[in-house]
Each structure stands twice: as structure tokens, then as C-alpha cells.
Structure 1
């Protein structure tokens, strides 16, 4: 059995204007391009940005930073935060705009390291004392 679909055409649509890009939009094409460009965020590699957690499973955390695709971060980078849930805001480091599978490559661990280093430099400028813990010792 074959099902037939009813195709409805709009008799008022001007195909010639559409093909020649004449009068299809009620605004200038440049205005539409500018409005569209405002909706996309430009992400620079090596930048720390804030993102929103959109998904959490046993292995990965999905983060949206307003780019064309969402980034995947291993859940091991969030070990310090076992209560991480969808909707939380996190800072992420942009490693690359696309990896070999076309996915946005993000790192939460690197973002925390960069922020920590910024705090150390800020403390140096203000002559503040930073308290810390010794994790290991090397000989020599």
C-alpha cells in the first residue's frame, strides 16, 4: 500500500524573486545577517568562559557555552563537586573549536588551574600570603 501525501503549494509565492534574491525579505539582507551574527558567540581558543551544564551521566558532562555545538567534559574533572546537576554554571577552558569528531573541546580542570594561577599572581601583586598544603616532595 502506498500512501500519497497532499502537497500544498502557495500560489502567492514568487519563485523568481526567491531565486534572484529579490524582495524575499522585508528587511535588508545585511540587517538580517547582523541580527543572526549577534545570536552566535565567538569562542576564542585558550579562553576561559562560563557555561551551563545541560547533561550529566556516569562518564561525561555536557556543557553549553552558546557556541554552535555543546562541549563534552569527562566527569572525572568534577570529582570535587559530586552534587553537579543540570543547570549549574561552570567555568570552562576552550581547548579547540572542534576536535577530530567535530565536537567542541572543553576542560574544566584547566579553567580552574588558570583561575588559581591568576589568584596567585594577584596575591603577589598585593603582597598577600597564600596558605597551601604540601602534596609531595622531590629529592634534590
Structure 2
């Protein structure tokens, strides 16, 4: 029995830490080489695959709790049931902060909760997400509200939280929540100040994409650019001689008359 076939979870350890002399064990015949008179056996194959067992007990979308075993430059490793580890990529730790800042929020030995995002038993990988547990987070696979939102669609959002990095907002009264980065709060630098917004304030923004958990990301700047392009196409052109102010003024007047 090669050491790599002795345990599902204990890698690169001395065989004496897995079994002891004279201990009786069940094994599975993996290969028989008659020419070399060699039989390859597997000890772990006679036991349940812990990743399959974890998937059965904790399907994708369920919430788990575990201890932070290690923090690397790309995420956190969490100890889970069955002596397996799951990884939280730094982009799935917290909303509205950089991956590096999110990593600094947690320490080794801390108990945390996370959502199971994906399980690949064959590759022995469990992907977890912590930010998905925050208020208004979209469940794995999306939700009816999130599914109704399309990229490039302009929707009305409400400010849930004001942060230095931007705004956490919610579509409608009970729709999907998402984040607007500081740089997406407006075209001009003086508009890119999150402190000019207040919790409960409502405004329109454009859906510019979705993150790994299907949560939408919004942008006021993208909406402004889109509206400007539409106004130029409808009320003027680059060779018409009209200034941008004239074009936007005509568009605003037309919109007011419609109301």
C-alpha cells in the first residue's frame, strides 16, 4: 500500500501515523502486475470518500461552520466536517473591500460561517463563500429577483449601507442587492464620493455585470455614459454643429415633456 493510497485527508505523513504494526485493515486491490509479481493495494479506497460524504450532508447552497486553518495570499482555508478543508477565495470574503483587506479581517483559529458554493469530489475541492451570508446576499444559483435583472438594464436601487469603497444597494424593495464601487458613482471625480449618499436614498443605476455568486454590480457612471450616447444619437451628431450641452438640453426637455 503506497502512502498516497492510505488516507483521503492525511497527505505526506509517515505511515505509522495512519496505521500501526499488526493492525488488521481492509484494502482494495488496485492493480496486479504478474510480470513484476506486484500487487498494488489501496487502504483509503475501502473507506468512504469524505468529499462525497460532505456533499451528501452539505449540498451546494447550505451553510457550514468551521475553523480558519490557514490564510494564504489568495484566500482562507476552513476546516470542515469529515476532516476536509474548504477554501474561501479572497473575492468571496466580504463586500466592498479589496481581497487583501478582506483577508486581514480574519485570523487563524477563528470560527466562521460560510455558504457552500461548489464541491468537486474528484479534485477534492470545496469552494466556500462568506460574503454571501451578508444581508441581502443572493443564494447560490441566483434568485428570482436576481434572475429578473439583466446586464445593461437600468433599475432603481435603494442605499442599504454607505462605505468608503462605495455603496451597498438593493433593487426595489425586496430585490437583489449589489455593490456600486466608488469609481462608478459618477463620471466626474467630485461625484465619486460615497459620503454624498444617505441610507434609504433611491436613484437609478445600470447593471454592469454579476459576480461569482450571481449578485449584480451596478454603476451610475455607466448609466450616464449610455444616456449621453443615446442623446447624441437622437438629438445631434458630431458633425451637426450642436454642442453637447445643447444635445443633452434637448434630451432633457423631451423627457420632461413626456412626463
TM-score (normalizing by structure 2): 0.31
* C-alpha distance in structure 2 between counterparts of 1:69 and 1:123, whole Å: 35
Question: Among residues 143, 155, 160, which one is paired with 1:49 in the alignment?
Answer: 155
More strand by share: 2
Correspondence for 1:89? 202
Q: Give aligned pairs, total.
A: 92
* Matching of residue 113 in structure 1 with residue 225 in structure 2: yes
- The answer as to whether partners of 1:123 and 1:130 remain within 8 angstroms in 2 is no
* C-alpha distance in structure 1 between counterparts of 2:168 and 2:204, whole Å: 13
- The alignment's C-alpha RMSD in Å is 2.8
Correspondence for 1:122? 234
Question: Among residues 151, 168, 183, which one is paired with 1:62 in the alignment?
Answer: 168
The change in CA–CA distance for 1:85 and 1:50 in structure 2 (over 3 A counts) is same
* C-alpha distance in structure 2 between counterparts of 1:65 and 1:129, whole Å: 36
Which structure 2 residue ranges, 5 or more long, are not aligned?
1-143, 246-259
TM-score (normalizing by structure 1): 0.52
The change in CA–CA distance for 1:131 and 1:111 in structure 2 (over 3 A counts) is closer
* C-alpha distance in structure 1 between counterparts of 2:231 and 2:241, whole Å: 10
Question: Among residues 164, 180, 186, which one is paired with 1:73 in the alignment?
Answer: 180
Larger RCO of the pair (alpha carbons < 8 Å, separation 6+)? 1
Structure 1, residues 19-66: CA drift from partner, whole Å, max 9, x if none? xxxxxxxxxxxxxxxxxxxx9472122212221222111112012113
- The answer as to whether partners of 1:54 and 1:64 remain within 8 angstroms in 2 is yes
Cα offset, 1:68, TM superposition:
4.3
Which structure 1 residue ranges, 5 or more long, are not aligned?
1-38, 133-140
- The answer as to whether partners of 1:91 and 1:112 remain within 8 angstroms in 2 is no
- Rg: which structure is higher? 2
- The answer as to whether partners of 1:77 and 1:108 remain within 8 angstroms in 2 is yes
